[in-house]
Amino acid sequence: MSVLDRVPAQATILPAVPSRDPNVNSWRGRPGDGKIMGLNDSATEILSAAYGVPTARMIFLAPLPEGKYDFISNVPRNQRQALQQAIKKTFGLVGNYQSIGTNVLELVARKPAIGLKQSASGGPDFSGADGSVWLSNQPISSLAYFNEFFIGTPVENRTRLKGYYDLKWDSTTNGLEQAELENLGVELVPTNLPIKMLLVEKAR
């Protein structure tokens, strides 16, 4: 992340370096000043970074470019908006928010909750190894996000649960759903709701 301070201020997207290890694939924003960068990312991932929307909440009305890209937006302010303009210039795509009725999963708390315990761990953490995934000291909103990421369907948090929790599961969708039901007493219920989606289309 120190690169954000070493290079000139810009919002740029370039083809990824072909010689780089393909396992290097991530993007990250710096909470303190909003600057953001990523390596070996798809166009979908760059759109997610620029608009702050999970991929499950995108509708594509235009084809996306293939391949992997590096990107950076380290301008002094409005970094996401600057990255959106770089997407428009590089890919010819823009995103617009619209409320659309669609299939949604609601994360709800069972009554009574099963084994619901607040975190006894230190700082917040997310990690994975040997086929398992851990969330430590995270709010329920983070759990909703990880459900959405793993399942690929929008998830709305309806639990009203406060506090921070730990959860460990095997890195499968069924493993996640079973672990959160048995350990946190929450489950996913399918429904259909109007939610804010990002429509990605060709720039005019």
Residues 106 and 187 in one domain: yes
Q: Is residue 167 part of a domain?
A: yes
46, 61, 91 - which closes a domain: 91
Residues 132 and 159 in one domain: yes
Task: Provide the edge-to-edge strand list for the sheet that holds 165-170.
Answer: 125-129, 132-138, 165-170
Q: Is residue 202 part of a domain?
A: no
Q: Is residue 33 part of a domain?
A: yes
Residues 119 and 60 in one domain: no
Counted domains in the chain: 2
Look at 30 and 115; give whichever has higher pLDDT. Answer: 30
**pLDDT tens-place string over residues 100-116:** 999 999 999 886 655 55
Closest listed residue to residue 30, CA positions, set 70, 3, 66: 3
- Say if strands 132-138 and 186-202 run parallel, antiparallel, or are unpaired: unpaired
State which residues form the domain around 31: 3-91
Q: Is residue 96 part of a domain?
A: no
State how far the alpha carbon of 48 is from the alpha carbons of 25, 96, 172, in Å.
14, 13, 23
Q: Residue 117 has what pLDDT?
A: 61
Residues 107 and 69 in one domain: no
Could you tell me the pTM of the whole model? Answer: 0.81
Q: Residue 151 has what pLDDT?
A: 87
56, 71, 91 - which closes a domain: 91
CB 159, CB 116: distance < 8 Å: no
Identity of the amino acid at 180: E
Band (133; pLDDT cuts 50, 70, 90): confident
Q: Residue 90 has what pLDDT?
A: 98
Q: Is residue 11 part of a domain?
A: yes
Residues 191 and 109 in one domain: yes
37, 62, 91 - which closes a domain: 91
